[in-house]
Structures are given as structure tokens and as C-alpha cells.
Structure 1
């Protein structure tokens, strides 16, 4: 059974073993239920750059919808629903969610700049991404003007959290953490509130 409110963390480890260790310790202290991870330490051996870790939550991976950079899970899935999802793998994740009115949440290292998510400038990849997000009706959840990526020369907002309209009211307290990560990316933390009906 899924908790009514799920503490969630999103981070790009940038292949840092130290970042993995720090986050693992923090996961216990903050009672984190779900981690959305890009470039986990050790990912090169598995050729997988995205993963989701869940604790105390019933989740099912949908491998036919997954790729090297995308991990797809759903919560509280019944066997009959799994068959329906996997039959629709060629339609695509966004289309399946739209047709079935299902909530969708994405954590991504966009590696693009746009003022829509508080980057300091706009680049062509950012413009392309904004156009695509508008076309496919995904909302940007970034609400704080805090950098998600830092290195010795600059800092920028390149990590974004996205959702469809069916889930926007369920994401609460989105923030960029100021805790050290030992990665050049910051942790993003938010709550998933399952007490709010999706699509409300």
C-alpha cells in the first residue's frame, strides 16, 4: 500500500559514489519513500542511466516502456492493468497516460537552459524543450530560483521536475535542497500527496 504522502528525492549522481552514500544516509533520516536518479554510481556497467528506488511503496516496473535514460514504474498495479500497459508500449508513455487519464511524473536532467525553469539564460535546447512541453501538455514544477547544478565556474538550473495536469495538485513542497551531495547536482525534494484525488 502506498503511503498517503510520499517524500521524494530527485538527483543526478553524476556517477559519484560519495553522492550515493550521502543520499542513502539521508533517505533514512528523512523517511524518503522514492528516489528518482539519473547517472547512478555504477550505471556504466549496467548501461542504464536512470533508475527509481522505492521504499515502503508498492511499485511495478514497466520494462517495455523503459529505456537507457527512462525508468517507468506505477504504483498499486493489478495484474490485468500490467497487461494493458505493456500491450500499449508502442503507443508511448505520454499517450497511454493521456488516453487513460493517468498521472505522470518525470524527473530529468534537461541539460538545457530556459527562464521557464529559472535558468540564467535561454539556449536552443531550452527553446526546443519548452516547445515540446507545451505541445505534449507537461507542466514544469520547479518553483525556486535555486541552482540545481554547480561547478567551479558557474551554477545553473538544468534539473527539472515535470508532470501532467492529472498530477499537478499532488506535488507539494517542491524545493532544491542546500544539503551537500558530493555531486555537481543538488537534490530536489518534494512530497507526493496521494490524499488529493488525481486530476482534481
Structure 2
């Protein structure tokens, strides 16, 4: 069985015309298939600067100041789901050809305003619908839910991701938002459990984006990759482990000194 690979880009364009031109360039030079975009360039009340002869664009037309859109190439098909779209959330069915016929995912581009409730009701509707119908979901979002699990340097009360059966596709804690004064992980890729195994090569790109947000790149592959689970102590985020365990147990957790100390404490906990 051959592998079908859909190349995906995710980025907040910060309303920059130049950043939009960079995305169009990626479709042309890199064979990009789908872009999940937040805060695109707006001209005359419409999303602009992204539609070309080799791609198409979806967003909530008629919305005042739309802050999200999805751009896709002619090699795949995206069908907008209007009832699951707002100015801040765009949802579509992504369909790709495979040997056995076609493969479909739900894909969303979401902007989560820091001053509003999180998640917004419309995103909750998307998550609930996908869970109810047992579908596969990929969300690219500029999130204001803070947690060290996806590389943030702080935790706030908006950790809705942990309570909605979503998985975090981010790898490592490389900043996605970079200015002269601040570096932070603001952009995350979320997926349903079934879709997670289809995500490969997730990384924060070093290529100039002409935005203060860096581009996130990953592939959706069919058939899904074979997962091999193992523990690599050298790659463990001990601070994140301690803080998240402390949060789960609601009591102070002793500091992890080394690998042997961790193994001893783990065995004690397992016997309880």
C-alpha cells in the first residue's frame, strides 16, 4: 500500500500582506496542500492576498473582520461547513485521493481571543460533533490556553484542551511567536485521537514568515504511521513533568533529582 502525503502549513499572518505572499510562495515552491491561517490580511473587509491560480480559499464570508481562513491546493478538495464557521473559526472537510478511493478529515483554523471565554462555543460545537460522529479532526490555532505541556512558560485557567479528549501534536517547546522582547509558544496543533497517528514531521520552520509568528509545518499521511512508544530520559521535560503531576495530585511533588531517583519514586507510587 502506497503512502499518500498531504503537506500542511499553519501560521498567524498578523494581518500582513507580505506574510500572505510568503504563504502563496510555499504553495508554489514546496507543493503545499493546505494552510490553516489566522489573522490574514484584510482588504475591503475581505480576506485578500491568498487566492491564486493553483489554490482556493475558504472563510466566513460576510463576517465582520474575519480572523481565520483555510487555503488549499487543486490537488485536494475542501468543503466548507458553514454551520461550524464564524469569524474566528473555519471548519471544512478535507478529502484526498488514495488507492482505495478517498480519505477525509475535519480541519479547522481557529483564533482564540485572550479576552473571551475559552473555548468559544463554536469550537466546542466542532469538537462535540466530531466526537459524536467518531470523525478525525485537526485544529490549527493561535491559542490563549496556557500550559507547559505544549511549551508555554506559564499555566492559566484556560486549559480546555485537557478536558476535551484532544491530543497536542506540538513537538518540543520551540517558540512559535518571536519578537525582540518576547518568545513564546502561542500556536498549537490539536487533533482527535484517531487523527494523531496520521501526523508526521511536525516542526516549527526557520524560514522567514514576514510575521511575528513562525510557520508550523507537518504532513498528514495515509496509511497512518506505525507508532513505537518508548521513554527517553534525556528528552524528558522534568519541570513540566513535576508541575503537571503536582497539578494532578493537588499537592507538592518532590523535586526529581536523577533517573534512578525517578524510578524509585515511580515504583513506590505504583505499589500504592
Match of 1:27?
Answer: 27
Matches within 5 A, 1:73-88: 73-76=92-95
Matches within 5 A, 1:1-200: 4-42=4-42, 45-46=45-46, 47-55=65-73, 56-76=75-95, 92-119=125-152, 121-124=153-156, 127-129=157-159, 132-196=160-224
> Partners of 1:195 and 1:10 in 2: how far apart?
22
> Partners of 1:144 and 1:64 in 2: how far apart?
34
Report if the CA contact (8 A) 2:146-2:158 is conserved: no
TM-score by length of 2: 0.62
> Partners of 1:112 and 1:92 in 2: how far apart?
18
> Partners of 2:24 and 2:87 in 1: how far apart?
23
Which structure's CA Rg is the greater one? 2
Question: Structure 1's 43 and 135: CA in aligned 2 closer, same or farther, altered over 3 A?
Answer: farther
> Partners of 1:96 and 1:110 in 2: how far apart?
21
Match of 2:236?
Answer: none
Secondary structure (helix, strand or coil) at the match of 1:128 reads: coil
Q: Give the number of equivalent residue pairs.
A: 178
1:48 Cα deviation after fit: 1.0
> Partners of 2:209 and 2:32 in 1: how far apart?
16
Q: What's the C-alpha RMSD, in Å, of the aligned pairs?
A: 2.1
Report if the CA contact (8 A) 1:5-1:195 is conserved: no
Which stretches in structure 2 are left out of the alignment for 5+ residues?
47-64, 97-121, 226-272
> Partners of 1:112 and 1:184 in 2: how far apart?
19
> Partners of 2:179 and 2:44 in 1: how far apart?
22
Question: Structure 1's 44 and 128: CA in aligned 2 closer, same or farther, altered over 3 A?
Answer: farther
Match of 1:83?
Answer: none
Runs of 4+ in 1 over 6 A off after TM superposition: none
Match of 1:85?
Answer: none
Which stretches in structure 1 are left out of the alignment for 5+ residues?
78-88
1:196 Cα deviation after fit: 2.4
Report if the CA contact (8 A) 1:60-1:75 is conserved: yes
> Partners of 1:30 and 1:188 in 2: how far apart?
14
Q: How far does the alpha carbon of each residue in 1:67-101 deviate from its partner, in whole angstroms, 9 at most, with x for none?
A: 11110000349xxxxxxxxxxx9x92212211211
Report if the CA contact (8 A) 2:138-2:189 is conserved: yes
1:44 Cα deviation after fit: 7.6
Q: Which has the higher contact order (CA 8 A, sep 6+)?
A: 1
